[in-house]
Structure 1
């Protein structure tokens, strides 16, 4: 349970860092460049925060290079979730991303754990 809680806290910190970086880069770059730069930097920060605090493991290049799979997993699940909520269930689009993101947390955590602690999962 500690890992899941810490994973959530790191996610909140990472989201705040992304948004602050995005706003900072937006002063000098077009929005898409600002988004890409902020996303890349916050993903790197997320990797090191999760290695240190969530999984208490030594960061390695292998783990660092595999870590973007967690973001890809999150993207796929939240995108599918938003589609399901809005187009299939005909619910409103305003809160669909929040619901889809909440549903993605356990799967994203499992992928993240697999990347960060491959020796503990068979």
Structure 2
């Protein structure tokens, strides 16, 4: 089992999924707390901004072990702008038009946008 975990750790996509799971749990908990006091759009936006900072730290230091410095700081928000727009579209469709539960919709949006986020993050954090 230890050997398997060690091998998984060598793959950036496995580290990306692990850090993403941690980030998702942390931001989802914040989202649910904020839903008690503000609407889903504001809750999602605040949580999303917090998640960008957490994700940047995890991706730079744990997933890609990058030393790209200021280049990544400047480009990384563009990854999450793309993911935010895609996710907000999914939330809007699923909550306002399909009447799905607003507590579950962000989790579905994260799952759907994983490939987009990984590929854009990898492009930013890996040296060419």
TM tier relative to shorter chain? 0.5 to 0.7
Q: Quote how far apart the aligned CAs of 1:43 are.
A: 2.7
Q: Mind listing any 5+ residue stretches in structure 1 that lack a counterpart?
A: none
Runs of 4+, deviation exceeding 6 Å: 19-22
Alpha-carbon contact 1:48-1:59 (below 8 Å) kept:
no
Residues matched between the structures, number: 111
Aligned to 2:108: 99
Q: CA RMSD in A?
A: 3.6
Q: Mind listing any 5+ residue stretches in structure 2 that lack a counterpart?
A: 1-7
Give TM-score scaled by structure 2 length: 0.62
Higher relative contact order (CA closer than 8 Å, sequence separation 6+) = 2
- Distance, in Å, in 1 between the alignment partners of 2:84 and 2:57 is 20
Give TM-score scaled by structure 1 length: 0.64
Change (3 A) 1:39 1:59: farther
